[in-house]
Amino acid sequence: MEAQPKRKLFSAVQPSGAVTIGNYIGAIRNFAALQDEYACLYAVADLHAITVKQEPAALRRHTLELLALFIACGVDPEKCTLFVQSHVPAHCELTWVLNTIAYPGELSRMTQFKDKSARHADNVNMGLMDHPVLMAADILLYQAALVPVGADQKQHLELTRDLGIRFNNRYGATFTIPEPFTPKSTARIMSLADPTKKMSKSDENPNGFVTLDDDRDTILRKFQRAVTDSGAEVRYDTEEKPGVSNLLSIYCAFTGKTIEGAERDFAGKGYGEFKLAVGEVVADALAPIRAEHGRLLADKAYLNGVMKRGAEAAARIAYRTLAKVYRKVGFYAGE
């Protein structure tokens, strides 16, 4: 019997700044874990990044850094397709078609649109509102069955599913309808400075996040400063102790321990000792990734080759889907 072709998986990260441990635990570390089971495509979402203001030189640098970081986090370019979103124009072409079945009402209700509109009140642009339609195009172009994302993207994935189903109903079966893949307890890592807010790489307070490029001293300092809660007991309780619970989640994500196991490790110990231990676990885990990232960034020719091959492989799949879409909607193809 012939082997079944592997199911497809797609995910992307925006090159909008240094990648945080939130991005890593919520999404990126699953990228490598899933690469044997699925045919994986991972993109650097530069088209998405410009929906908020980016310094052009920084965007260019972050794009290369993020591609290298995927590899440093264990994504194997020989097994997966790694590319830069703007190198495959089909993403914009499918977005246009999907725009004609997406409603402004549903887009203006998206939590991320509302958050980012409030944070960037001087730049509420059409691209910001269209961000989830471009994301739907990313996913649907590759007929992806699975999309590893953090909890904050689940609403966008629901919209992707709605648009896929809407198109299939109107024009006939065209798109695979994707499922999210979200780790349970670590899908939403909170800010170290304010544990009621999601950890975000675009936070103006750098003490709120730890990046994969922070050195050991910076990591230890940020954890020592992390906001904890009143009381003195290290116990998981997101209502009463959001700060401590967030640190426990991070500790478990990097050690593989259960929450109960972690609580036992710190029974009778104070917050100071706890925060130092979490910092050390994170610094130890990130050190090899940081070293590998540095090595990769020194070899620009290799990275350029990976993204070129990736874009070619992605385009082959993307244009097969786009041709089907153009035919279904009735675009005249000539002879």
Q: Which residues bind ligand ATP (CB under 6 A)?
A: 13-14, 16, 22-23, 26-27, 149-150, 152-153, 187-189, 198-202
Residue 222 known to be catalytic: no
Contacts of 171 (CB under 8 A, 6+ apart): 325, 328, 329
**Of 6, 53, 198, 222, which one is the catalytic site residue?**
198
Q: Which does 147 bind (CB under 5 to 8 A by kind): ligand ATP, ligand LTN, none?
A: ligand LTN
Give the residue among 141, 168, 26, 129 at the shortest CA–CA distance from 83: 141
97-136 binders of ligand LTN (CB under 6 A): 135
Q: Exactly one of 12, 107, 163, 283 binds ligand LTN (CB under 6 A); which one?
A: 12
Q: Which does 201 bind (CB under 5 to 8 A by kind): ligand LTN, ligand ATP, none?
A: ligand ATP
Query: Least distance to ligand ATP from the beta carbon of 250, Å?
Result: 10
**Of 8, 201, 222, 275, which one is the catalytic site residue?**
201
45 sits near ligand LTN (criterion: CB under 6 A):
yes
Query: Least distance to ligand ATP from the beta carbon of 253, Å?
Result: 10
Using the contact rule CB under 6 A, the part of the chain among 7-15, 199-207, 213-221, 259-267 near ligand LTN is 7-15
311 sits near ligand LTN (criterion: CB under 6 A):
no
Map residues 154-193 to x or -, x wherever contact with ligand LTN holds by CB under 6 A: --x-------------------------------------
Please say whether the beta carbons of 321 and 91 come within 8 A: no
Query: Least distance to ligand LTN from the beta carbon of 47, Å?
Result: 8
Using the contact rule CB under 6 A, the part of the chain among 5-13, 117-125, 236-244, 325-333 near ligand LTN is 5-13
Please say whether the beta carbons of 201 and 209 come within 8 A: yes
237-256 binders of ligand LTN (CB under 6 A): none
46 sits near ligand LTN (criterion: CB under 6 A):
no
143 sits near ligand LTN (criterion: CB under 6 A):
no
Nearer to ligand ATP, 27 or 163 (CB): 27
Residue 53 known to be catalytic: no
Residue 8 known to be catalytic: no
Q: 3-state SS string over 35-68?
A: CCCCEEEEEECHHHHCCCCCCHHHHHHHHHHHHH
86 sits near ligand LTN (criterion: CB under 6 A):
no
Query: Least distance to ligand ATP from the beta carbon of 333, Å?
Result: 35
> Would you name the residues annotated as active-site residues?
116, 198, 201
Binding site for ligand LTN (CB under 6 A): 10-12, 14, 45, 48, 135, 138-139, 147, 149, 153, 156
